[in-house]
Structure 1
Amino acid sequence: MKKSSMIFFERKFPSANMILIKDQLPILIDTGFGSDVKETEELVRSVGVTPEELHLIVNTHYHSDHVGGNFHFQKNYGVTIAAHKWDANLINTCDPEACSAEWLDQPVEPYQVDTKLSDNDEIHTGSRILRVLHTPGHTLGHISLYEPEEGILICGDLFHKNDIGWLNIFREGVSSIQRSLESLDLLSTLKIQQAYSGHGPKIDNPLDAIDAARERFEKWISMPEKVAWHACKRIFSFTLIIKNGLSKDEVNSYLLKCGWFQDFARNSFQLQPEEFIQILLDEMIRSGAASWRNNHLIASTSYKAPHKDWIDKNIKPNEWGIQDVLK
């Protein structure tokens, strides 16, 4: 029998990375941002797997850059979707909190989770077995996948090669740091040779990356403002990516209507939202996260801007409706 292969796709924002396990039962882990779905399908086809052959899509967590292609593959090809049971319950009831999409102002097209996963579940691909590890922190329903034979870890947004996943204390809880540390402690007990995260390159020294992530989280315990700044810059950068920048004239009004901006301004920095606007803009420029070009604030990271028509659809779970999901 031909040995299976694990294919890593490092992707530009706004899409998260993907992993395709090419085996008797092909598995796709995460599906990128919704506007990139044609590219997502092309990547799958480019390695000799048709969408109809996909046995399962597994989501590491429910953020828009990881689940955006779900709608396309489920509606057009009937692909089964699996996710942690806590994510599944929010998704399947079209809860307004699903995907944190409303709070983050990130569009997600409707889908349903067919298979609810729990810690230590096994996913069989034919010649491989992936162990599901519940690794909350970045989100409550975040999972990692571990393949023990080759020591491969797929860790979503828990940690990256040179960074850690931002923490949403207002939607995922004030204990997110502690949960992240416990998740890292769990992973550090495993024999890991190589890891793939949701963003950035593959991780050739995963235990070193875990130690670095742990050290950073531990520092954050006594420095809560760092948690807030890390999150604000990541969230706002993603906004600038999916909107391909914001003009000076629209930045203020846009920020003031965002749930995340209101929460961080009032609760993390004890400022009125109007006061926090310029402070955030100054920090985006100072840190190099964004820059002004022709009176537009543009994200500094490399990205592929979604088509404006797609973003203008503004699809959110609170608008899905059960009937829309089941069509």
Structure 2
Amino acid sequence: MTAHLLPPGIEVFERGWLSANNILHFSDNDVSLVDSGYCAHKNLTVDLVCNALKKHQLPKLNKLVNTHLHSDHCGGNAALATAFNCEIYIPAAEEIAVKNWDSTLLSYDNLGQECPQFAHHAVLIPGEEILLGKYVWKILAAPGHDPHSIMLYEADHRILISADALWEEGFGVIFPELWGEAGFEEVAQTLDLIETIPVDLVIPGHGAPFTDVARSLSIARSRLDYLASDPGRNARHGAKVLLKYRLLEWRSRDIAQVNDWIANTPALISAAKLLNMDIDEFIQWLPKALVKSGAAKLEGETLVDLA
């Protein structure tokens, strides 16, 4: 357990893999939340914030900060804005896409996911600082998993909010590589940046906060070397993660519906091309690969999630 390592005014709501962790920052002058989870969990996210406001006798949620705009990190934005009338801060590079609500640029169409539309009020610019609760955090660029992702660093307590740039056992899927954009080198640069920062505690986008940063960086670099040495590995891994993520929400799905979703998800079509498979071959392969990995099972004509 690492809760005792958090300074006063920070609380982490550790979520399941369908929703990113939410980090509450609070003081007498500001109450902020980092990341809002997936839309399917929006009511739970609102309840978590409501309960925390009541527990800490806080008047309102002032702002919501998104480390990046994948649906598991911002799917609760619209619900939180409605419930609390809070301001929403997004990475600066996503401003035009959000303003125009371009769901292709925002990755939702590409990844076959959903995110209710929301409006933003301010942007997060790498190199600048932002007040969250009691503490001032530096905004750091963290491309790789997502080209526009940011991290947040608090120097006095040496805390890094790493989003999906670093987990205890790796990092998020390197999605840009699925559609032919650079990602491997960007992940390496972000890991190098983390190594230069004095960090005692990492709060990742998924999983529990952790303290052995050197170990996690070593695991991440080993993982990156493995994926970068054969881009097909990243394509296979990314495809399985995308299907698993969707299945977490579905819980179970008729295989014909699963196959239709695969055939109409652009990132998976790109993955098939990287693997030199035609789409019919890929559709046959992907559910079986997920079953073989132990993440799902087939019951007749139904694909069922396994936790």
Query: Is the structural similarity TM-score above 0.5?
Result: yes
Q: Which residue of 2 aligns with 1:295?
A: 301
Deviates more, 1:287-296 or 1:164-173: 164-173
Range that drifts further, 135-144 or 275-284: 275-284
5+ residue gaps, structure 2: 1-6
Name the counterpart of 1:31.
36
Once the two structures are superposed, the pairs formed by residues 146-225 of structure 1 within 5 Å of their partners are 146-169=153-176, 174-225=181-232
Q: Whose relative contact order is higher, 1 or 2, with alpha carbons under 8 Å and at least 6 apart?
A: 1
Identity percentage of aligned residues: 26
Aligned pair partner of 1:22 in 26, 37, 61: 26
CA distance, structure 2, for counterparts of residue 53 and residue 113 of structure 1:
18
Give the aligned CA root-mean-square deviation in angstroms.
1.9
1:48 pairs with one of 53, 62, 75:
53
TM-score, structure 1 as length reference: 0.85
Does structure 1 conserve the Cα–Cα contact (< 8 Å) formed by 2:178 and 2:271? no
Write the deviation string for residues 118-151 of structure 1: whole angstroms up to 9, x where unpaired: 1111111353111110101111110011111111
Aligned position for 1:226: 233
- 2:96 aligned with 1:92: no
Unaligned runs of 5+ in 1: 302-327
1:254 is matched with 261
Deviates more, 1:53-62 or 1:203-212: 203-212
Residue-by-residue CA offset, 1:7-52 (whole Å, 9 max, x unaligned): 1111123211111012231110001111212211211122235896
Structure 2 counterpart of 1:215, which letter? S
Q: Taking structure 1 as reference, are residues 177 and 234 closer, same or farther at Cα in structure 2, changes over 3 Å only?
A: same
C-alpha separation in 2, matches of 1:168 and 1:160: 16
Q: Distance in 1 between matches of 2:103 and 2:306?
A: 31
Q: Which residue of 1 aligns with 2:9?
A: 5
Residue 51 of structure 2 aligns to which amino acid in structure 1?
S
In structure 1, the residue matched to 2:4 is none
After superposition, the Cα gap between the structure-2 partners of 1:51 and 1:91, relative to the gap in structure 1 and judged at 3 Å, is farther
SS in 1 for 2:107: helix
SS at match of 2:106: helix
Instruction: Name the amino acid aligned to 1:278.
Output: Q
Q: Kindly tell me: are residues 6 and 164 of structure 1, through their superposed partners in 2, closer, same or farther at Cα, counting changes over 3 Å? A: same
- Tell me if 1:101 matches 2:105: no
Q: Does 1:114 align with 2:118?
A: no
